[in-house]
Amino acid sequence: MHTDLSPHLHTSECNELISKLKACHENNAFGKFLGACNKFDSQVVECLHQERVRRSAANRARAKKHHQEDFSITGIKVPSITEDHVENYPSVVDRFFTKYFYRKACSNPQPYKVFFHSNRICMISLAPEHEALKVGVKSITFDIGNTNRSQNQVKGKGKKGGMILQHDSAIAIVTDKNDVTYKVPSCIQGKLIEVNERVVKDVSLLGKEGDGYIAVVLPKPEHCDDIKSSLMTQEQYLSTLI
């Protein structure tokens, strides 16, 4: 959450970044919850922080001038607002999603990451240790042969019309720079809500947490507990890498 973003409260520099953030939110109905606007969000947070730092410095200078170094309200000392600033504030993904991992049972099992939101939305992406990311991704397509996942359409609050997926259903095909192909599984049972076509245009996004998600899948409420138990937690996954 940001402070009041009214234009009269901020510099022209911050107002420009705030406008870009608001435009990104309007153009990314689902993506804004999945990190599509993280870049602008971080820039706004940093700009607002710099405003507070400058404002705090000016306030301290005025206080020093009037010999009032300690500012208090009803006898209670008010700490500097910069003391509570967290330099490495958690991203949207870290704050609102729980990370799980999936490996499909096959001859060459590759790891995939599932970001599970409290509202059941699940974001599917390649795990950092995926072979395609190590070698380098050449391309990704949502045309899996018998169907094209990019043609998926959902309507209304109930997300009617989304393609039904099983945990091993292919949602995309990734080709690395050695021309080795990998079928990306859904990882969970649910309904396909959307695919991230930005990664088709810019495969480098696949290595970025949040922005590089491949698809969004929505499981049924009654399946969530079973799905979570079938996946590896982050601790369990990391233990397999040792």
Where do the domains of the chain lie?
A: 7-89, 94-240
Alpha-carbon gap, residue 51 to 44, rounded angstroms: 10
DSSP state of 111: E
Alpha-carbon gap, residue 55 to 63, rounded angstroms: 12
Sequence-distant (≥ 6) Cβ neighbours of residue 44 within 8 angstroms: 2, 14, 17, 18, 21
Containing 163, the helix (H) or strand (E) segment is none
**CATH (residue range 94-240):** 2.40.50.100
In 3-state terms the chain splits into helix, strand, coil percentages (rounded to 5) of: 40, 25, 40
**237 is written with which tokens?**
């996954």
Over its length of 242 residues, how does the chain's per-residue pLDDT go in tens digits?
Answer: 567 778 777 888 888 888 888 888 888 877 777 777 888 888 888 888 888 888 888 888 777 765 545 555 555 565 555 555 556 666 777 778 999 999 987 778 899 999 999 899 999 999 999 999 999 999 999 999 989 999 998 888 777 889 999 999 999 999 999 999 999 999 999 999 999 999 999 999 999 988 899 999 999 999 999 999 999 999 999 998 87
Alpha-carbon gap, residue 149 to 172, rounded angstroms: 7
> Could you tell me the pTM of the whole model?
0.64
